[in-house]
């Protein structure tokens, strides 16, 4: 009887270990479907257009071990004219969800949830592709401004003659122009809605890295696995 009790106890321990092992398999690069870029491609707001930004996401994901997915940058573009239809909404580029970070923490289960008060995108969950926390507003250097070019609901801004909010649709790395950014740490100088927005807080001062950094950014952006 004692031997049977010992065997059952051992089996129970092995079962717990097995469950823990399965749970850990849901965490890590292969299961990652969302991250913040650890670096800018090198030209500030000039990301090589949407295609170049997507390639950067894909390259970083590949290096982290999550390459076998279709990665898209969370970026909008503006139409060439006010009445034009050649714009792209960031929310339409990223698939249907759900998305999780490198540690298996769910960011959002759907596009609507991502753009709602129920979004779990915070400084603690908006990790880079290596699973590292990205500097927030109170740290140096501050890197909390994420390039998005988007309005709070993930849609594009109006086109010309209205202001540039996408650094020339992500082809301008000069001192002119601007790009809308969001705060990945959901923190700003106050508690106003814009200050705590992850995707639509304020524009940059320009499109070069020298103009992006003063307001608290490093030219980083969000990447989502669309498939």
Look up the CATH number of the domain holding residue 116: 3.10.100.10
Mean pLDDT by runs of 10 across the 227 residues of the chain is 39 38 49 97 97 98 94 97 92 98 97 97 97 97 98 97 97 98 94 93 98 98 96
Six-digit token string for 81: 């004219």
**15 in any annotated domain:** no
Residue 161 preceded by cis peptide, ω within 30: yes
Residue 129 domain-assigned (yes or no): yes
Residue 137 lies in a domain: yes
Distance of CA 196 to the CA centre of its chain: 15
pLDDT value at residue 21:
36
Q: Is residue 210 part of a domain?
A: yes
Alpha helix ranges (H) inside 2-142? 2-24, 49-64, 111-114
**Which residue range forms the structural domain that includes residue 121?**
32-225
Counted domains in the chain: 1
- Contact between 151 and 166 under an 8 Å Cβ cutoff? The reply is no
Q: How many helices (H) and strands (E) does the chain have?
A: 5, 8
Q: Which residues of 109-127 are buried (b: 16+ CB within 10 A; e: fewer)?
A: bebebbbeeebbbebebbb
User: Is the full-model pTM beyond 0.75?
Assistant: yes
Alpha-carbon torsion (101, 103, 109, 115), positive or negative:
negative
Q: Is residue 18 part of a domain?
A: no
Write out the two tokens for 122.
């915070």
């Amino acid at each position: 009887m004692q031997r049977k009790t010992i065997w059952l106890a051992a089996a129970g321990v092995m079962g717990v270990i097995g469950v823990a092992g399965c749970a850990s398999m849901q965490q890590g690069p292969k299961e990652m479907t969302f991250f913040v870029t650890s670096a800018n491609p090198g030209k500030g707001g000039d990301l090589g257009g949407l295609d170049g930004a997507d390639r950067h996401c894909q390259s970083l994901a590949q290096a982290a071990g999550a390459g076998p997915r279709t990665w898209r940058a969370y970026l909008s573009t503006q139409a060439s004219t006010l009445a034009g239809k050649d714009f792209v909404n960031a929310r339409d580029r990223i698939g249907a969800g759900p998305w999780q970070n490198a540690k298996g923490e769910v960011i959002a289960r759907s596009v609507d949830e991502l753009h709602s008060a129920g979004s779990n995108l915070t400084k603690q969950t908006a990790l880079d592709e290596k699973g590292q926390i990205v500097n927030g507003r109170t740290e140096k250097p501050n890197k909390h401004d994420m390039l998005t070019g988007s309005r709070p609901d993930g849609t594009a801004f109006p086109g010309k003659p209205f202001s540039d909010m996408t650094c020339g649709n992500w082809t301008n790395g000069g001192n002119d122009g601007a790009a809308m950014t969001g705060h990945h740490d959901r923190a700003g100088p106050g508690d106003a809605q814009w200050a705590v927005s992850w995707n639509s807080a304020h524009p940059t001062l320009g499109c070069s890295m020298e103009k992006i950094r003063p307001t608290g950014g490093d030219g980083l952006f969000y990447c989502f696995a669309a498939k």
